[in-house]
Amino acid sequence: MRISKPALRTFLVSLALLTLIVFGAAVGARKWKLYDASPQNPKDKSTQQLKPTDALPPVVSEIKGLEVIGAFIDADAMVNITIINKTHKTIIGLGLAAGNRTFTDDTGISQENPKPLILPNESYTFKEAVSNLPANKPIRVSVVLYDDGSEEGDATQRKYIHDERDREKEKRLHQAKEKP
């Protein structure tokens, strides 16, 4: 059986192209990131963590007068949530919640006279490591503490903030007594 030159040439070119495609797929497959999307315990999805490559779940404010104007994951794997204070009050403490986790930025924890965190009509960017946030759980602005002593939001999280403030105040008083 004799094969004509044009048919042989077509066969060799096709074989070369197929070889290049297979080689390219093999090289590309080595660079593909393999990961198991299932949680450690399939019944407990709260153990899943966000990864820097993930998109953020919805970010909303439960506090009237506070608006989320931006949210993204930066190159350092930090979640950046920008909030604008549309109230006429100065904010000294802010709390966020995601799933059963809470995060607080409160100037009243470290000092007796809290400094302003967000002035009226100003914005503030809350930052948290992406690995600390559960995947697929909305992120909520859930607590606000104002400089006039008023506060709004989740009662449990507010109690936690006040308890933490009291612990830190006791620690500062204890350290002041120990100094000569």
H or E stretch at 123: strand 123-129
Average pLDDT over residues 79-107: 92
What's the pTM?
A: 0.65
How would you list the strands of the sheet with 78-85, edge to edge? 66-73, 78-85, 123-129
pLDDT at 86 over 70: yes
* Overall fold of domain 57-178: Immunoglobulin-like (2.60.40)
pLDDT band for position 180 (50/70/90)?
low
Structural domain boundaries in the chain: 1-29, 57-178
135-156 residue pLDDT tens: 889 999 999 999 999 999 999 9
Nearest to 97 by CA among 50, 55, 61: 61
Q: Which of helix, strand or coil describes residue 152? A: strand
Q: How confident is the model over 49-71, as pLDDT tens digits?
A: 655 556 788 999 999 999 999 99
Radius of gyration of the chain (CA): 27
Report how far residue 108's alpha carbon sits from residue 99's, in angstroms, rounded to the nearest whole number.
Answer: 25
